[in-house]
Amino acid sequence: MVATGRKYVFDFDSTLTRVEALDVLAELTLNGKSNKEEIIKEIQEITNLGIDGDISFTESLERRIKLLNAHKDDLPILVEELKTKISKSIEANKDFFRDYADDIYVISCGFKEFIDPIVKEYNIPSHRVYANTFKFDEEGKIVGFDETNVLAMHNGKIDCLKNMNLDGEVQVIGDGYSDYVMREAGIAHKFFAYTENVHREKAAKNADYITPNLDEFLFVNDLPRKISYPKNRIKMLLLENVHPDAFKSLSEAGFSVETVNHSLTEEELIEKIKGVHVLGIRSKTQVTKNVLEAANKLMVVGAFCIGTTQIDLDACKAKGVVVFNAPYSNTRSVVELAIGEIIMLMRSVFTRSTEIHQGQWNKTAANSREVRGKNLGIVGYGNIGKQLSVLAEALGMRVYYYDVNDQLALGNAVKCNTLEDLLNISDVVTLHIDDNKANLNFIGEREINQMKNGAIFINLARGFVVDIPALANALKSGKLAGAAIDVFPEEPRSNGEFETELKGLENVILTPHVGGSTEEAQANIADFVPNKIMDYMNTGNTVDAVNFPNIRLPKQNKAHRFLHIHKNVPGVMAKVNEVLARYELNITGQYLSTDNEVGYVISDVNKEYNKDVIKELKKIENTIKFRVLY
Ligand SMILES: NC(=O)c1ccc[n+]([C@@H]2O[C@H](COP(=O)([O-])OP(=O)(O)OC[C@H]3O[C@@H](n4cnc5c(N)ncnc54)[C@H](O)[C@@H]3O)[C@@H](O)[C@H]2O)c1
Ligand SMILES: O=C(O)[C@H](O)COP(=O)(O)O
């Protein structure tokens, strides 16, 4: 047992549990009744009126009990149900309730009949639970409550706490205004508005502190806790209209997430990045050295797309910032668009369609060809190129590919040894090379001249890889019969006006970088990237990081985890272990992974430790970042 000289007074409903117990009881007793929903709604409204102090609590209780129509036999079922509805961070910090048991009380306007058995499992004995009690009739029906109990009266918590005569500083933790009144009356010293389950404005507005979970409460009181740094203190900034599922999963996991629906300029981002721990972007936002210099807290950049050249990966690494992307989540979407465009261009569909839009009927087979038996040249035979290869073959196309790296041919695809070979032979050339800056103007006048006369050209990769004036000339001269361009050398940061030399050219499909913009792809990305981010934040794992040594260590239950990122120079690891040994920490698991520039070591240690060890580990020469996880 640890003495702090403080007393902690917890509310029960919507604080220790995620729910209001009488609402749950109503669900049980009204099951099967035709007017169930209406009555539950009415009970909830009455509950809220009572909690916010808008009607007297006695009145709220009387009205709800009448509507409930409950029986003694419903209570054990209610208790079992409530046991599954303990607030997440309360459950995670059960040790706090064990270690500080003598200082913890419950004051609730709920009922001892269901509170006692729940909180007993959290080491709070019945004599430290102050709550109402039911009255039953001879058949066991709940017909009322003990009206003499102060907690059945309006603002009864004030008198209850007064009568308890507690020594030392009294801290009240609860979700409602009826908890705050103890502080207002001057009997409690601090009121923490507990918002993990419900945010009640009236309570929050008056609170000394708003605590979104128990981790935060334990953190501000410097009490032992399950996680060293509460998640709500970790700020995440998601730019560029990242799919809302990402916001949902990250905020439900307890992080503080802000979203912006467009990309930011370097100056704007420099301003906004301060204090941000996790930045989420798509292909537009440039994460430059200057941005990183201003990023005083940054730990992770999540690219909610495939490309990562918009991020200075080396500067991130030097700063210990881990970068994740979504390498496969939108692959299929790009491939489907490519297939669609190949067919549309081969049939001159956009030209015919435009004519009709302009009021002209022009039925003709000229410049309209099947794709079956035609040669498709795929440049860049990576994830997208390969999948396109399979689908195009299924349509009866003959597939040729060219890649700077050795790539296994799928199906009957034929490898070309040079780009020129591929360009010479293809009826359709489609680009799927990566966003490496070395690919600037990869397709220019020379390469276009190497293509067949009347060939079709598609770029769904990156805008800067194609010389646009050369492409425009080739389309105007008829060297190329058509093109589909989804990506441009300069793309606007948000939706609005846009100009390109390709505007108005016949049989040219222009799309605003939407190759990966399908609902499915965006939802997949919003699942994949947040999981990577959370895994790193919660366990230190860097599997699939694009710029960092990859480590995966299983989560330890009875251990503390230290994460140490350092410059990869000789001797750092020895120093880390020397410090751990000097402080007599027993290492239960350790994993080091390095690349040329950085070393990343995760150490699990299994006992309470002297906090000075952290200072020493941070002081080790060549340390880039250090973090304690739990
Ligand atoms: N339009 C969109 O919305 C959209 C969506 C997703 C991906 N993309 C872009 O598509 C491209 C391909 O994506 P991926 O997932 O297939 O990438 P990937 O890394 O799996 O494949 C790229 C392939 O290109 C090859 N390559 C690179 N430079 C080359 C060169 N100069 N000559 C020949 N081969 C070269 C690489 O060796 C690799 O095999 C990327 O640029 C990506 O950013 C665009
Ligand atoms: O790199 C990518 O995945 C694509 O270019 C798509 O980028 P976006 O998410 O910005 O549309």
* 307 CB within 6 A, ligand 2: yes
Alpha carbon of 514 to ligand 2 centroid (Å):
8
Average of per-residue pLDDT across 533-550: 94
d(CA 549, CA 595): 6
The whole-number pLDDT of residue 530 equals 98
Rg value, the chain, Cα: 32
Amino acid 579 reads V
Q: Is 617 exposed, middle or buried (CB count within 10 Å of its CB: 0-12, 13-18, 19+)?
A: buried
Helix (H) or strand (E) holding 605: strand 598-605
Lowest mean pLDDT among 60-64, 206-210, 432-436: 60-64
Location of structure tokens 């503390």: 560
- 3-state SS of 178-211 is HHHHHHHCCCCCEEEEECCCCCCHHHHHHCCEEE
Instruction: Output the CA 231–ligand 2 centroid distance in Å.
Output: 29
pTM for the full model? Answer: 0.85
The angle at the Cα of 584, spanning 582 to 590, to the nearest 5 degrees, equals 95
Residue 2 has pLDDT above 60, yes or no: no
Question: What domains appear along the chain, each with residue ranges and CATH number?
Answer: 6-220 (3.40.50.1000), 227-329+518-548 (3.40.50.720), 331-517 (3.40.50.720), 555-629 (3.30.70.260)
For residue 57, pLDDT over 90 is answered with no
Conformation bin of residue 222: beta by default, left when phi > 0, alpha when psi is -120 to 50: left
Q: Which numbered atom of ligand 1 lies nearest the CA of 283?
A: 43
Q: Are 604 and 560 in contact (CB under 8 A)?
A: yes
What was the pLDDT predicted at 125? 96
Query: Strands 134-136 and 455-459, how do they pair?
Result: unpaired
Mean pLDDT of 224-229: 84
Q: Could you tell me which of 15, 9, 11 has the C-alpha nearest to residue 167? A: 9
Q: What angle do CA 385, 245, 309 make, to 5 degrees?
A: 40
Give the ligand whose atoms come closest to the C-alpha of residue 383: 1
**Whole-number Å distance between alpha carbons of 585 and 617:** 13
How many A from CA of 450 to the centre of ligand 1? 21
Q: Where does residue 334 rank: exposed (0-12), middle (13-18), buried (19+ CB within 10 A)?
A: buried
Q: Is the model's pLDDT at 464 over the cut of 70?
A: yes
CB 138 within 8 A of CB 131: no
Q: Find the mean pLDDT for residues 469-491.
A: 97
Q: Is ligand 2 within 6 A of the CB of residue 330?
A: yes
How far, in Å, CA of 215 to CA of 220, rounded?
A: 9
More confident residue, 204 or 55: 204
Taking the alpha carbons of 266, 272, 276, 278 in that order, is the dihedral positive or negative?
negative
- Write out the two tokens for 479: 């060297």
Measured by CA distance, the residue closest to atom 7 of ligand 1 is: 306
pLDDT band at 417 (very low <50, low <70, confident <90, very high): very high
User: Of these residues, 491, 506, 597, 616, which one is catalytic?
Assistant: 491
250-265 per-position pLDDT tens digit: 999 999 999 999 999 9
pLDDT reported for residue 547: 95
pLDDT over 80 at 339, yes or no = yes
Q: Which amino acid is at 91?
A: E
The closest alpha carbon to 480, from 514, 449, 525, belongs to 449
- Letter for the amino acid at 122? Y
Q: Residue 26's Cα: distance from chain center in Å?
A: 34
Mean pLDDT of the 509-531 span: 97
Helix (H/G/I), strand (E/B), else coil: 14: helix
E strand or H helix that includes residue 91: helix 88-92
Residue nearest to atom 3 of ligand 1 (CA): 515
Amino acid at 152: A
∠ CA 287-290-535, rounded to 5°: 40
Atom of ligand 1 nearest to the CA of 384: 16
Catalytic residue among 63, 200, 462, 566: 462
| Residue 423, amino acid | L
The pLDDT value given to residue 407:
97
The beta strand positions in 220-356, using DSSP E, are 235-238, 256-259, 278-281, 300-303, 322-324
Best mutation site among 282, 301, 332, 525 for ligand 2 pocket (most ligand atoms within 8 Å of CB): 282
pLDDT band per the 50, 70, 90 thresholds, residue 4: low
DSSP 330-396: THHHHHHHHHHHHHHHHTTHHHHHHHHHTT------TT---STT-EEEEE--SHHHHHHHHHHHHTT
**Which ligand has the minimum distance to the alpha carbon of residue 526?**
2
Looking at residues 182-207, what average pLDDT do you find? 96
The 10 Å Cβ neighbour count of residue 19 is 18
Does the beta carbon of 329 sit less than 6 angstroms from any atom of ligand 2?
Answer: no
Pocket of ligand 1 (CB under 6 A): 306-307, 330-331, 334, 379-385, 402-405, 407, 432-436, 439, 442, 460-462, 486-487, 513, 515-516
Whether 29 contacts 68, CB under 8 Å: yes
Candidates 383, 370, 326; CA nearest to 526 is 326
Q: Which atom of ligand 1 is nearest to the CA of 386?
A: 16
User: Is any atom of ligand 2 closer than 6 Å to the C-beta of 516?
Assistant: yes
Tally Cβ neighbours within 10 Å of residue 91.
Answer: 14
Q: What is the DSSP string of 485-531?
A: E---SS--SSSS----TTTT-TTEEE-SS-TT-SHHHHHHHHHHHHH
SS (H, E, C) 536-581: HHHHCCCCCCCCCCCCCCCCCCCCEEEEEEEECCCCHHHHHHHHHH
The span from the CA of 70 to the CA of 140, in Å, is 9
Angle, in degrees to the nearest 10, between helices 21-29 and 57-68 = 20
For the CA of 434, the closest atom of ligand 1 is 41
Q: Kindly give the distance from the C-alpha atom of residue 397 to the centroid of ligand 1, in angstroms, as a whole number.
A: 21
The terminus-to-terminus CA distance of the chain in angstroms comes to 21
- Give the nearest ligand 2 atom to 517 CA: 11
| Whole-number pLDDT of residue 114 | 97
The per-residue pLDDT of the chain, averaged, comes to: 94
Judge whether 491 counts as a catalytic residue.
Answer: yes
d(CA 194, ligand 1 centre) in Å: 48
Model confidence band, residue 558 (pLDDT cutoffs 50, 70, 90): confident
Distance 332 CA to ligand 2 centre (A): 13
Indicate which residue's Cα is closest to atom 18 of ligand 1.
382
The partner residues of 172 in beta bridges, in order of sequence, read 9, 191
pLDDT band at 3 (very low <50, low <70, confident <90, very high): low
For residue 439, is it left (φ>0), alpha (ψ between -120 and 50) or beta?
alpha
Kindly identify the ligand whose nearest atom is closest to the C-alpha of 462: 1
Query: Residue 219's closest CA among 628, 496, 500?
Result: 628
Torsion of CA 471, 476, 477, 480, to 10 degrees: 50
Residue 629's pLDDT is what? 86
CA of 519 to the centre of ligand 1 (A): 21
Percent of the chain with pLDDT over 90: 86
Atom of ligand 2 nearest to the CA of 525: 9
Strand partners, 136: 142
Band of pLDDT at residue 559, cut at 50, 70 and 90: confident
Distance in angstroms (rounded) separating the CA atoms of residues 180 and 190: 9
CA separation for the pair 510, 134 (Å, rounded):
71
List 513, 561, 564, 566, catalytic entry: 513
